[in-house]
Structure 1
Amino acid sequence: MTLTELSIHSERLVKLENDFSHFDDTLQRLSLKKISMTTDQFMSFRNVVNLSLIETGLEEIPDLSLFSRLEYLSVREGRLLDARRLAAAPALRALVLEAPDAALAAVPRLKRATFINAYATDRIFGNCSELESLSVERGSLNALRAGWLAGCARLRRLDLHDNLLEALPDSLLTDAVALTYLDLSHNMLRALPSDLLKRSKTLTHLNVSHNLLTAVPNDLFVHTRQLLRLDLNHNRLTAVPSTLPNGPFELKRLDLSHNQLTDLPESFWFPVTAIASDLNLDLSHNKLSQLLNVSSTEMKLFKGINLSHQL
């Protein structure tokens, strides 16, 4: 019987006692949790395609240059101090790294990269010409330099939720012309650059909820004509942009709940009611005492509308 997949998980840290070297040519997927091993034991798995290491006590990434088939690597190690050898894996295309104190180096050729609790303030994902998905979550990002995504022309998904971002550079997404999903939620953003989405013509999902926004630039959505979902909830908005959004309007969900909206202008209702039958609109938890610019007949057109909990 050929062993192609092996998972060994423990509730406490134990040593790997077995010799698995005879599976060297057949084992493709390996997952170890709280299983410590020697360097020789680790190297015996050099033909794996998918490798997951969770709380194994690893302090340094061994030499991965011989892991010629390794395409997916997930490392969740609280004690890891040196992860610079990740770049040595010649076939690595997908990486998940949770190592708060690890020294990092750029990893080229990645298609998908996720960094959790990492001090990821520079281009740790390497040459991003092939990068399609990038997530930096639950980390300490508080600023991004202008060229942080330079060359990321294939990037489709960018997730920066749950960081400490206070501002974004105007040119952050200049090269990310294929972007469809952008999550900036749970940060400390007080404003958005008016040109942020200028080249994001393929964007379908935008989440900027749970920030400190008091306003949104009027022309922010001029080029986002394929937008399907927009989350602006849990901010401090007192007004909505007059061109939200402009052009072909395909929104399926618009969440403006938990803000400080007191009025909605006619310039907002005119495009919204035009696609009401497909739209779920959430305006709950605001300060809308009355809605003068929309009739009860028009309200019935919506697929769903929530106006509850007005202060």
Structure 2
Amino acid sequence: MANSKLFSCLIFLLFVFNTANSQGLKVGFYDKACPRVEAIVQKVINDTMSKAPSLAGPLLRMHFHDCLVRGCEGSVLLNSSTHKAEKDAVPNLSLRGFQIIDNVKTALEKECPGIVSCADILALVARDVTVADKGQSWQVETGRRDGRVSNITEALLDLIPPTSNITQLKSGFQRLGLSVKDLVVLSGAHTIGTSHCSSFTDRLYNFTGVGDTDPTLDPEYIARLKLKCKPDDTTTLAEMDPGSFRTFDVHYYTNVAKRRGLFQSDGALLDDGETKAYVGLQATNHGSTFLEDFGVSMVNMGRIGVLTGTTGEIRKVCSKVNES
């Protein structure tokens, strides 16, 4: 009972902390200091998507991976001479598109030097790549400042792995101050992008350590994945939403409902009443609310652990902290 009360207290304090910090965020934060910020970000992203559309998924995921570790303060972008930063952690090695963030930052520094944070760039880019893949736009709150710490160990501990079950997913999102609905909605980001086979081959070849397959996964889907991914394959990429992986739509939920979610964390959405109901609602594709819900949950996620006011800094270069 004492441990339960302590846990509830910690969750409450985290929620209060996140809420207090997020009060420094608002839509249009840069209206006076850098009024063209969103137009500049959008232009760079649209140019990028016309040449390299496969970067949409990784750039969206970059914002996720930033927010889940230390909050949305740009720490995933920092380099380390000793390879001990967040981006050096195994779950982040598949992130791509850092040079695109640098391109956005360069364009913004030319327009309004020292004004726009790298953390805000990640949030704006996440919205714009979603729209570029035919998703629905949302108003992005800005006003974040950049952190000065990036630690590989924190990334290893705090990023929620794709092997998570529903209990682990719910507790992980609760720890961040996010709801069960946020969990199932944000999982829908898997509607675009690809994954290395190594992230899910245990489900195909060695689910419980005895050479078996995951019984919750559709057998036909298993057979299809085995044709693409061999047991020790670490390089081949598989579509997270087959047939629709470059279109931001509800097809992901159709796959999950058919037990064809690529990751264990996808399939786990069928193991809870609330998340399963949401999957079913979106899978019918009649009056789907997913595109609108996604924007709401992205705003919620974008408030996690933000630095505002005079905390943190506005980095001149996104990959390194400012010189003291």
Q: Same fold (TM over 0.5)?
A: no
TM-score, structure 1 normalization: 0.20
The structure with the larger Rg is: 1
Higher-strand-fraction structure: 1
TM-score, structure 2 normalization: 0.20
Higher-helix-fraction structure: 2
